[in-house]
A = this chain, B = another copy of it.
Amino acid sequence: MSSVVAINQRARTAEQKAQRRNAVLEAAETYFLEVGYEAFSMSNLAKNIGIAKGTLYLYFETREEIFLTLYEQSLVRWSDIFIDDLRETMTSQVYARKLLTAAAADGTFLPLLIRLEHLIEHNVALPRLIQSKQVFIARVEKIAKVTASSLELSEAQATEVVKTMGVLLIGATQGDQGPALDEEDLPQEVQDLIASFSSKPLFIKNAVRIIEGIRMETAFSI
Contacts and interface: CB of A to CB of B under 8 A. Distances in A.
Given A167-B202, A193-B136, A213-B209, A185 B118 contact: no
A177 B115 contact: no
Contacts of A133: 190, 193-194
Provide the main secondary structure of the chain A interface: helix
A49 interface: no
25 contacts: A38-B119, A117-B174, A117-B175, A118-B174, A133-B194, A134-B190, A136-B193, A137-B193, A163-B196, A163-B197, A166-B171, A167-B168, A167-B171, A167-B172, A167-B174, A167-B197, A167-B206, A168-B206, A169-B171, A171-B171, A171-B172, A206-B210, A208-B213, A209-B213, A213-B213
A214 interface: yes
Contacts of A185: 126
A129 B186 CA distance: 10
Interface in A95-126: 111, 114-119, 121-122, 126
Interface residues of A, number: 50
A54 interface: no
**Copies of this chain, tallied across the complex:** 2
Interface in A34-90: 37-38
Interface of A: 37-38, 111, 114-119, 121-122, 126, 129-130, 133-134, 136-137, 163-164, 166-172, 174-175, 177-179, 181, 185-187, 189-190, 193-194, 196-197, 202, 206, 208-210, 212-214
A210 B168 CA distance: 11
